[in-house]
């Protein structure tokens, strides 16, 4: 039997195992789910053992553990390091889900006519990293492992991979490989397969604006004392000008500008603006003047308010001038912006623009560096060839807007370009209610990963 036949023969079990993994609410951001995050790590450990990995261990960190496992077939063969994450984003708001987020169901959608698995983490990243476990199982079962494999599956990606940094630095020998393979991104579509060659970085801030020392009657004091929510809104509004340029001094100093040719090539990727707007139910897109939607997401930095709160938000009306207002603000960064530097620029500017009538506190949360991957490596060529084998056409290199902070660490510490071979679609609702992952994407992904190993062996030896 071949690896392809093995995958087909075991389809039902491959799917059911993923559904079991999706039932574990491994939300890393919320301490309420701590036990479940550990449970997911155990699940990953067992799945690697069953698939045939050696030296499987749960590596404890100061945060959530990293699951490691390997199969060294022959030290002379190239080694592929697979990275993924078993933690998921919070499922809130639960009421916006059509089915409970940790009770996976399979339903058809316009983009997944053959069905998609609806559950938190289905596409990001359980459904995607689990493809590697199953590709590994199939290759092992068929005695068809073309390369050695190492797995590193972490549980803190969605909260900034804080402890992975030290782990990678302290375990360089253990993690030694010839390429890093990651499935935690999108492709354009199954008809237009793509490989991600760039991810944005992130600087995430929380701000607190304090006005009077207590909530006040908005009639007695309104108009005479600064309302921190009004002030915060003005401050936030001033962070972008009429062209949607970010106004923080120095923000663009290190932003890499691309040539006309590069921008033209990026814009040649298939993209249907009308379908994009229709799917989001918006009449127009919005963004930095002078750039296309593909460019705004792929090669330009942005600033977004992720949440804003304060004052009275309960039922009915309460006339109150609140004492405090808060917001969580994130900036997506591009090469060569440094998230720590940007966090400092933000803080200095935010404090500088605050009127004397309020006090401002700025707290940086996690951050991450952007990453750009070369297309001129054995790893990229192997990914392209694997896509050709399974999809029948060459991969389109794309720049994506999301962040995987660990990618730049792989480059810096291990000297390896991660190959971002993702099979999700941008409409899969990552981080949103009703996240889903195509069943066909899952199985084609498993096949493509197996094909990658074969092609990488060839490409690495050239």
Indicate whether 400 belongs to the interface with ligand BES (CB under 6 A). Answer: yes
Smallest gap, in angstroms, from Cβ of residue 346 to ligand BES?
Answer: 16
Out of 184, 426, 435, 447, which residue is the one contacting Zn ion (CB under 5 A)?
A: 184
C-alpha dihedral, 377 to 176 to 43 to 369, nearest 10°: -60
With beta carbons less than 8 A apart as the criterion, state whether 370 and 241 touch: no
- Cβ proximity to Zn ion, 130 vs 251, nearer residue: 130
Indicate whether 163 belongs to the interface with ligand BES (CB under 6 A). Answer: no
Residues numbered 114-143 forming contacts with ligand BES, rule: CB under 6 A: 124-125
Measured CA to CA, the distance from residue 441 to residue 391 in angstroms comes to 11
430, interface contact from ligand BES, Zn ion, none, CB < 5-8 Å by kind: ligand BES
With beta carbons less than 8 A apart as the criterion, state whether 85 and 153 touch: yes
φ, ψ of residue 445 to 5 degrees: the values are -65, -45
65, interface contact from Zn ion, ligand BES, none, CB < 5-8 Å by kind: none
Residue 214: how many other CB atoms lie within 10 Å:
9
101, interface contact from ligand BES, Zn ion, none, CB < 5-8 Å by kind: none
Binding mask 189-218 for ligand BES (x = CB under 6 A): ----------x--x----------------
Q: Are strands 418-420 and 179-182 parallel, antiparallel or unpaired?
A: parallel
Which H or E run includes 151? strand 148-154
Q: Are strands 105-109 and 179-182 parallel, antiparallel or unpaired?
A: unpaired
409: left (phi over 0), alpha (psi -120 to 50) or beta: alpha
- Cβ proximity to ligand BES, 56 vs 88, nearer residue: 88
User: Which stretch in 116-124, 161-169, 215-223, 376-384 sits in contact with Zn ion by CB under 5 A?
Assistant: 116-124
- Cβ proximity to Zn ion, 132 vs 454, nearer residue: 132
User: Which stretch in 25-33, 161-169, 180-188, 445-453 sits in contact with Zn ion by CB under 5 A?
Assistant: 180-188
Indicate whether 402 belongs to the interface with ligand BES (CB under 6 A). Answer: yes
Burial class (CB in 10 A: 0-12, 13-18, 19+), 67: buried
Binding mask 124-163 for Zn ion (x = CB under 5 A): xx--------------------------------------
Residue 234: how many other CB atoms lie within 10 Å:
11
- Residues near ligand BES (CB under 6 A) are 124-125, 157-158, 160, 184-186, 199, 202, 366, 368, 400, 402-405, 430
């Amino acid at each position: 039997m071949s690896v392809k036949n093995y995958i087909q023969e075991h389809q039902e079990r491959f799917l059911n195992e993923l559904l079991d993994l999706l039932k574990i609410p491994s939300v890393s951001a919320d301490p309420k789910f701590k036990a479940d995050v550990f449970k997911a790590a155990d699940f990953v450990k067992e799945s690697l053992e069953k698939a045939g990995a050696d030296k499987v261990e749960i590596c404890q960190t100061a945060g959530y553990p990293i699951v490691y496992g390997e199969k060294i077939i022959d030290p002379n063969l190239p080694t592929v390091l697979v990275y993924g994450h078993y933690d998921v984003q919070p499922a809130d708001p639960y009421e916006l889900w059509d089915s409970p987020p940790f009770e996976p169901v399979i339903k058809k959608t316009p983009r997944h006519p053959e069905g998609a698995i609806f559950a938190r983490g289905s596409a990001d990243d359980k459904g995607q990293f689990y493809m590697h476990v199953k590709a590994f199982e199939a290759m092992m079962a068929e005695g068809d492992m073309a390369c050695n494999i190492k797995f590193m599956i972490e549980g803190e990606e969605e909260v900034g991979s804080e402890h992975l940094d030290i782990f990678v630095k302290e375990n360089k020998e253990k993690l030694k490989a010839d390429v890093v393979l990651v499935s935690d991104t999108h492709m354009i579509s199954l008809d237009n397969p793509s490989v991600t060659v760039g991810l944005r970085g992130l600087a995430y801030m929380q701000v607190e604006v304090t006005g009077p020392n207590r909530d006040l009657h908005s009639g007695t004091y309104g108009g005479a004392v600064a309302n921190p929510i009004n002030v915060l809104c003005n401050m936030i509004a001033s962070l972008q000008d009429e062209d949607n340029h970010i106004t923080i001094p120095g923000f663009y100093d290190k932003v890499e500008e691309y040539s006309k040719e590069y921008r033209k090539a990026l814009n040649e990727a298939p993209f249907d603006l009308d379908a994009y707007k229709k799917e989001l139910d918006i009449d127009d897109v919005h963004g930095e003047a002078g750039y296309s939607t593909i460019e705004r997401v792929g090669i330009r930095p942005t600033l977004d308010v992720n949440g804003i709160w304060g004052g009275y938000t309960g039922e009915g009306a309460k006339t109150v001038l609140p004492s405090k207002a808060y917001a969580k603000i994130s900036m997506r960064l591009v090469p060569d912006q440094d998230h720590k530097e940007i966090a400092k620029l933000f803080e200095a500017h935010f404090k500088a623009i605050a009127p004397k009538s309020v006090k401002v506190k700025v707290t940086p949360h996690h951050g991450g560096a952007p990453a750009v991957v070369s297309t001129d490596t054995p790893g990229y060529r192997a990914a392209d060839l694997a896509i050709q084998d399974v999809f029948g056409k060459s991969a389109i290199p794309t720049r994506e807007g999301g962040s995987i902070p660990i990618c730049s660490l792989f480059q810096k510490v291990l000297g390896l370009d991660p190959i971002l071979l993702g099979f999700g679609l941008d409409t899969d609702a990552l981080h949103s209610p009703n996240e889903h992952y195509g069943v066909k994407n899952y199985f084609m992904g498993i096949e493509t990963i197996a094909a990658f190993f074969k092609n990488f062996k060839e490409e690495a030896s050239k």
